[in-house]
Structure 1
Amino acid sequence: MNGRKRKLTLNYDTEHDILYVSLGTPRPSYCSRDVDGILIRNSFNDGRFSGVTIMDFSKRTKEQLQKVIPVKLDIENLYSFR
């Protein structure tokens, strides 16, 4: 990410308890890794990290997320929309 900060786009599906986190504007991506329901997404365009999809979000701890997400994100920000 070259040390620059990018805006996070958060979308939460309350019915299915899924949090979609995108770096910048959501873009077409593929799942490059699934770590126990935390899906790491990369852009089809350039293969770079584009976000995460977190299944069963309400059951996750901040510590679990920090261990899995491959870039530095303000994890507190993920919980702020509730």
Structure 2
Amino acid sequence: MATVKIPTKTESVIHYDKEADVLYVSFGKPRKAEGIDIGDGTILRIDLNTEEVVGITLLNFKKRTEDEKVG
């Protein structure tokens, strides 16, 4: 995979879909992006024009956090 830029000075929006057990994190204003599955239920949303990460989707979020000891 090519190197992508991660935005540092944008507002993040976090949404958890309890029914689907999916956590969505978006950076900045909504824009067209392509999802790239990087494995383990993690999908990067990338603006192909700027090569910036505009969001991250984590599948099975609650299950993951319950299975791992946090802290």
Give TM-score, length-normalised by structure 1.
0.59
Match of 1:48 among 33, 52, 57: 52
SS of aligned partner of 1:60: helix
Q: Which 4+ stretches in 1 moved above 4 angstroms?
A: 1-4
Structure with the larger RCO, 1 or 2 (CA within 8 Å, 6+ apart)? 2
Deviation at 1:56, TM superposition (A): 0.6
Identity of aligned residues (%): 35
The partner residue of 1:60 within 56, 61, 64 is 64
The structure with the greater share of residues assigned to strand is: 2
1:30–1:5 Cα change, 3 Å: same
Instruction: Say what the alpha-carbon RMSD is for the aligned residues.
Output: 2.5
TM-score, scaled to structure 2: 0.67
Bigger fraction of residues in helix:
1
